[in-house]
Amino acid sequence: MTTLINPVGHPTMVPKDIAPANSAAFSPNLYRWMKARGHAYKDGGVAETVYRVLPNSRLAKEFGAGTLMIGCPYGQYEGDTDFSGSMLMAVLCNGSKATRYCYVGAMHSLEVVDGFWDSYLKVGRCAIDPEHNEHFHGGERYSVTGDVRTCLWCGEQHQKTIMPRTIFDESWSTI
């Protein structure tokens, strides 16, 4: 007997909640991927969520520990441990062109990033990059006043530090 499971990444969200038209904080490419390749339920809710690759796991050999993946359990039969999804960074870069794969037995390699969609709905791509190290395309991220920049997506403020650097140019001339 086959038991199909319906994975739930978020119980009420619909793809248009993360449309870039709603906020510059939302990734146009993630929205495209969710529309083209994601599973949304008729009465609301999406199957996909974000997972982190566990250290010393099978997927860690392929992607490195800590890599973020988006997808859901494949769920074709009871006890199925396959994962269906893509690398989150590939989705952010390539949108709907990022292919979705079935990774055999990969659910053992993954842990759910708790509350991913709830924080994405609040602060958009800052939920993916809380350190503010990435340079995302699409959507103005900062407003700068003097030495302080304010993240327009999550409100975090950063102080600019300028470190002086001395450069010597060496040349040789006849005596």
Stretch that binds Zn ion, among 7-15, 59-67, 82-90, 155-163 (CB under 5 A): 155-163
Task: Tell me the number of residues near Zn ion by CB under 5 A.
Answer: 5
Give the amino acid at 36. A
Would you say 33 or 153 has its CB closer to Zn ion? 153
Would you say 116 or 153 has its CB closer to Zn ion? 153
The token pair that represents 21 in the structure block? 């038209």
Give which of 49, 39, 37 is closest to 9, Cα–Cα.
49
Alpha carbons 27 and 24: distance in angstroms, whole number? 8
| Minimum gap (Å) between residue 50 Cβ and Zn ion | 17
Site string for Zn ion, 88-127 (x = CB under 5 A): --------------------------------------x-
Selected from 83, 116, 136, 153, the binder of Zn ion by CB under 5 A is: 153
Stretch that binds Zn ion, among 35-43, 78-86, 112-120, 145-153 (CB under 5 A): 145-153
Interface residues toward Zn ion, by CB under 5 A:
126, 151, 153-154, 156
